[in-house]
Structure 1
Amino acid sequence: MAAASSTASASQSVRLAKRAMRKSMGLRLAAVSTEDVLAQSATITRNLLASRLYREARTISVYLNTPSGEVDTHELCLDALRSQKTLYVPSFALASPGPPTSDQREDSDQKEPSPAANDRKKPQFAAEMSMLHIIDEKDYLSLPKNSYGIREPSLDDVLSPATTSSSSELPRRTEALAPHTHGGTGLDLIVCPGLAFDLKGGRLGHGKGYYDRYLLRAKEWALRERQRQGQGQGQGQGQGQGQGQG
């Protein structure tokens, strides 16, 4: 019992320390001038583009930055597209509920708008982040901005055609970690945002856990894909041996 109490106390201390650090780092980042952000972003982008990790990556996800206080990823996204890499960017949006049924329309005609209905107009976010495919440069530049001024594809785009300049057959967006039968490719490189990082690669996020959970899902996707490919190779070898024996 004492051990459980000690663990809970330590966990609470970590949460409080993270909360204090987020507040402190948020204030420091807000004080960085736009000129400094752009200059440091250019240096970071050059270093990343020159890295082996980036050069060898075929599928990458890149966060799209807020208007201030974050490394600008615009040039990185453009380079990825121009280098023929498969680019994914995050979406936190909820899918639209779709058109109302006839019964719902009747109810809405008979009832006054409720406070809950007004709340639905406020920004809402999905429980989990999605990484959606960007078709090409035109598609990227046409992404609408959300209420925080960040470019963001709609989750509805997974079900509807995306804008593209390269084909009359408009492809649909795919999610990076969808099953391979549904167009999922997995990710070779994930560029994450963060309020602070340490020299060992530790990251302090914004506290919602979106990227923590997504990184875990990406590892699980890669493991399943390796197992699937291994099974396919094993079956192929078995068939080849059977044909040789015949």
Structure 2
Amino acid sequence: MATNETLRSAKRELRAAVAKRLDALDTESVREQSRVVLSLLTSLPEYRQAQRISIYLSMPTGEVDTTAIVQDAFGQGKRVFIPFTHKAMPAPTQGEDQKPSVMDMVSLDSPEDYQGLKRNSWGIPTPTKKSLETRENCIDELRAGKAGLDLIVMPGVAFDGGGRRLGHGKGYYDYFLRRYSEEAGGKVPFTGPYNQVIKFQDNTEISEFIVGVALKDQFLDPPANVPVGDKDWPLDVIIVGDGSVVRR
């Protein structure tokens, strides 16, 4: 098994390599690939069944644009949650897992609410701290015994056919999923009401569902793979801008 420093070095090298690919992408390519991803995602039975979904809000460049996904989710009457990153409160019992900042998923109330968000330093539409007073927090709801998330749409820097994902290095999503799993009794987002499993017409069951969306330039062709550690969460499905749907 790779040492921590070896793993960190491998991840840094892959981020740099993918960044070069993305720098060469033109706007029209990203736009077309984002349209392909939207079509494939919205055709998935897991997406159609989901009522409460988390969707990352995209940067202006270098990743799948999720604007149309947010619009479709509202059009389908789904409850939408988006990431909000903030300074963590001290929690001595968490030991080395304690993070200086953490990500929560908070409610996005309407298309108009989305249009009113201001962009942060990364160019990502972000809710204000003041608005959190009226937004639902999915982990707070879990603690209160209410519904969790059905499905998460996750970003990343690189992905591979084994469902592995490389993030930007802050560990926000991996740490969020660990916190979520603890509050949900070991489960992660799944399609169906909280603490239940949904059964489709063909009698297949889905107990959890996490979707990564990738530009084709972010997806590694075999035998290349994403270096991961024991705290890196795998994805159930990766949808790629070249029209591929890769299930783990």
In structure 1, stretches of 5+ residues that fail to align are 1-6, 96-124, 160-171, 231-246
Q: Structure 1 residue 207: deviation in Å?
A: 0.4
Say yes or no: does 1:207 pair with 2:200. no
> Counterpart of 2:121 in structure 1: which amino acid?
S
| Map of 2:101 onto structure 1 | 127
Deviation at 1:177, TM superposition (A): 1.3
84, 88, 103: which one aligns with 1:91 = 84
Q: Secondary structure at the match of 1:208?
A: coil
Determine whether 1:158 maps to 2:132: yes
Deviates further, 149-158 or 18-27:
149-158
More off after superposition, 193-202 vs 214-223: 214-223
| Structure number having the greater helix percentage | 1
| Alignment partner, residue 156 of structure 2 | 194
Task: Output the CA distance in 2 between the equivalents of 1:224 and 1:178.
Answer: 16
Which of the pair has more CA radius of gyration? 1
Q: Which residue does 1:70 correspond to in 2?
A: 63
Structure 2: distance between partners of 1:139 and 1:40: 26
Aligned residues: CA RMSD: 2.6
User: Does structure 1 residue 145 correspond to structure 2 residue 128?
Assistant: no
**In structure 2, C-alpha distance between the alignment counterparts of 1:203 and 1:184, rounded to whole Å:** 29
As a proportion of its length, which structure holds more strand? 2
Q: Does 1:39 align with 2:32?
A: yes
CA distance in 1, matches of 2:73, 2:10: 37
Change in 2 beyond 3 A, CA 1:184/1:35? farther
Q: What percentage of aligned pairs have identical amino acids?
A: 39
Residues 184, 19 of structure 1: CA spacing in aligned structure 2 closer, same or farther, 3 A cutoff? Answer: farther
Distance 1:182 1:135 in 2: 20
- TM-score w.r.t. structure 1 length? 0.67
Count, aligned residues: 181
Q: Which residue does 2:200 correspond to in 1?
A: none
CA offset at residue 48 of structure 1? 0.2
SS of the residue aligned with 1:69? coil
Superposed displacement of residue 188, structure 1: 0.9
Amino acid at match of 2:54: S
Tell me the secondary structure at the aligned position of residue 13 of structure 1. helix
Q: Which residue of 1 aligns with 2:184?
A: 222
Deviation of 1:50 after TM superposition, in Å, equals: 0.3
Query: Counterpart of 1:88 in 2: which secondary structure?
Result: strand
Q: Which digits, 9 at most, give the CA deviation of each residue in 1:42-65, with x for residues without a partner?
A: 001100000011111111101111
TM-score, normalization: structure 2?
Answer: 0.66
Deviation string 1:177-198 (CA, Å, 9 cap, x unpaired) is: 1134769631111111101111
Q: 1:131 to 1:84 in 2, by over 3 A?
A: same
Higher normalized contact order (CA 8 Å, seq sep 6+, divided by chain length): 2
The DSSP-based 3-state class of the residue aligned with 1:26 is: helix
**Tell me, what secondary structure is at the counterpart of 1:177?**
helix
Displacement of 1:27: 1.6
Indicate the residue corresponding to 2:23 in structure 1. Answer: 30
Describe the shift of the 1:182–1:138 C-alpha distance in structure 2 as closer, same or farther (beyond 3 A): farther
Which whole-Å CA distance do the structure 2 matches of 1:36 and 1:225 have between them?
Answer: 37
Code of the residue aligned with 2:159 in structure 1: it is F
Instruction: Give the deviation of 1:155 after TM superposition.
Output: 3.1
Query: What residue in structure 2 maps to residue 79 of structure 1?
Result: 72
> Aligned in 2, Cα 1:81/1:183: closer, same or farther, shift over 3 Å?
farther
Q: Is the 8 A contact 2:139 2:180 kept in 1?
A: yes
CA contact (8 A) 1:91 1:129 kept: yes
